[in-house]
Chain A
Amino acid sequence: MKALNQVVDTLSRVPGVVVAMVVGATDGLIVETSAVIGGAGGADPRKPTAALAAYLYSKVTRASDAARLGTPAFMRLEAERGHIFVVGARDVVLVTIVTTDANLGRVRLEMMNAARADS
């Protein structure tokens, strides 16, 4: 299994990724995180994003189960000024905050690869 700090390091180097985190799937607490790129000033978004993204992913998993679709492979939340990506990997979820101009396909691919390596 790839070390968690390596996972975070790899993801945070993808252009457009503002922050990459490994988060506990059940408690929503940050296990490993990158620094926030361009994050000088303003409140640190990591702790609330981690907790709420993990919570949201657990609800999406239930919705997916209810629809008989199985485990969700990837979750993307599109907002006005960027995206939140979430991928499940056993006991943790990988969470990234991504800018609107990022190469979303590349971020998705890197996250899926990281999740597979982590499983």
Chain B
Amino acid sequence: MSDPTVAENWVAAPLTRLKEDARLISGVLLYPSGRAVGQFGFSNAADVMSICALTSAINASARELGRQLDGNPFYEMHHAGAERQVFMARASAGAQEFLFVGVFDRESSFGVVEIYFAEFQKALERLHPEKQPKGAGPSGDFEGELNRSLDALFGPIGKR
């Protein structure tokens, strides 16, 4: 299993711990705008790009769905497939919000992933740098942000 690759160093340790403790196969931490912060389990930038875009869109839809159905946004989702399961949740550190999506199989369980995700969330709160990283908020340049974060994770196009 590969170590996480990160665009911001402070998330490397919490991501490694989450991956190992929760026995996750793959996972991506991103900003709600779709910009990747760190990932593990992927070797292809295009896969991470798709996952970020989809997670960002699913999160926005789920929040709105929650508001419509329940009056409150839905923040956590779990899909149990036949072989693999997907866990998606938001995490926050200070005022900054993140999304996380992870994949696991029978080597783990939803309960175990939830437990270690709660610890991951606490670690983000603890380690989050006081100063907000440059460009953490959405700039409106969705494609540009996505590409810059992928460059940070996998290297510039052509060198990947």
Contact = CB atoms under 8 A, between A and B. Distances in A.
A26 B115 contact: no
Main secondary structure of the interface of A (DSSP, over half): helix
Contacts, number: 34
Interface in B87-132: 106, 108-112, 114-115
A94 B108 CA distance: 19
Interface in B4-57: none
A26 B115 CA distance: 15
Contacts of B109: 26-28, 51, 54-55, 58
Nearest to A49: B115
Q: Of residues B80, B106, B114, which shows the largest number of chain A Cβ atoms within 10 Å of its Cβ?
A: B114
Nearest to A26: B109
Interface string A59-91: 000000000000000000000000000000000
B110 A52 contact: no
B110 A55 contact: no
Interface string A18-29: 000001101111
A50 interface: yes
Interface of A: 23-24, 26-29, 47-48, 50-52, 54-55, 58
16 contacts: A24-B111, A28-B109, A28-B110, A28-B111, A47-B111, A47-B115, A48-B115, A50-B111, A51-B112, A51-B114, A51-B115, A54-B111, A55-B108, A55-B111, A55-B112, A58-B109
